[in-house]
């Protein structure tokens, strides 16, 4: 009698597992309709898509070591150029509609680089031949709105981020919303960048000798 009861519980658990697994897969397909991945490199991705008509483009010769790609929203685009290298523990989160993330050719992420593009119409542009070290965060939003209690107006709107060509970002740096980093700049270790850096004085360091 006890054996029959135990078998019934196990069978019931197995059926529930199959049911909810199939339901999750159905929901994933339903909410990711129209999402396409054009991969001309050698990439292995952890993907989480909730939305419609999103697109990921990965260029020739690029090598991505299992970055976590999370897209929540519609009509978003992630473009990764040719010969881009993205190391372990990196992630690209897109939350909103009509967002663009562009990573230029020959750019490299060492590891644990987090790109977070949030709120409608935002974009993050990273130029060509950039070097991003480890434990770096780049984001377009504070992830939550703050309102003035007197005027009810939002005081922390999102803003796009632009990083030029040949930029070197050292470990444990954070690039916040609205920042534009010029070509050839060096962002030192443990920097918190909330305003545009001054015109680069280190650009010569990245230019080949004549």
Tell me, letter by letter, the H, E, C secondary structure of 103-162.
ECCCCEEEEEEEEEEECCCCEEEECCCCEEEEEEEEECCCCCCCECCCCCCECCCCCCEE
Residue 57 CA to residue 52 CA, distance in Å, equals 16
Cβ atoms of residues 119 and 96 within 8 Å: yes
Strand partners, 71: 49, 94
Q: Name the residue among 187, 176, 34, 33 with its Cα closest to residue 117.
A: 176
**Tell me, what's the pLDDT at 122?**
98
The pLDDT value given to residue 200: 58
- Report residue 131 CA to chain centroid gap: 16
Position 31 scores a pLDDT of 47
- Predicted pLDDT at 33: 61
Pairing of strands 85-86, 108-118: parallel
pLDDT at 144: 85
Residues of the chain with pLDDT under 50: 2, 5, 7-8, 10, 26-31, 201-210
pLDDT at 30: 45
Residue 34: per-residue pLDDT? 66
pLDDT on residue 14: 57
The CA distance from 189 to 70, in Å, is 27
- Say how many residues make up the chain: 210
Torsion (CA) 39, 41, 45, 47 in degrees, nearest 10: -20
């Amino acid at each position: 009698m006890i054996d029959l009861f135990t078998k019934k519980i196990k069978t019931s658990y197995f059926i529930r597992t199959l049911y909810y697994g199939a339901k999750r897969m159905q929901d994933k397909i339903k909410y990711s309709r129209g999402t396409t991945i054009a991969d001309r490199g050698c990439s292995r991705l952890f993907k989480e898509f909730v939305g419609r008509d999103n697109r990921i483009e990965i260029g020739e010769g690029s090598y991505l070591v299992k970055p976590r790609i999370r897209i929540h929203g519609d009509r978003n685009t992630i473009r990764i150029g040719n010969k881009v290298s993205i190391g372990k523990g990196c992630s690209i989160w897109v939350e909103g509609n009509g967002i663009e993330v562009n990573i230029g050719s020959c750019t490299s992420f060492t590891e644990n680089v987090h790109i977070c593009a949030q709120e409608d119409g935002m974009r993050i542009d990273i130029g060509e031949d950039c070097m991003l070290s480890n434990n770096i965060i780049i984001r377009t939003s504070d992830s939550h709105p703050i309102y003035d209690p007197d005027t009810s107006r939002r005081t922390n709107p999102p803003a796009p981020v632009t990083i030029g060509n040949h930029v070197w970002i050292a470990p444990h740096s954070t690039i916040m919303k609205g920042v534009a980093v010029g070509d050839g700049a060096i962002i030192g270790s443990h920097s918190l960048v909330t305003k545009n850096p001054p015109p680069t004085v280190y650009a010569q360091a990245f230019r080949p000798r004549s």
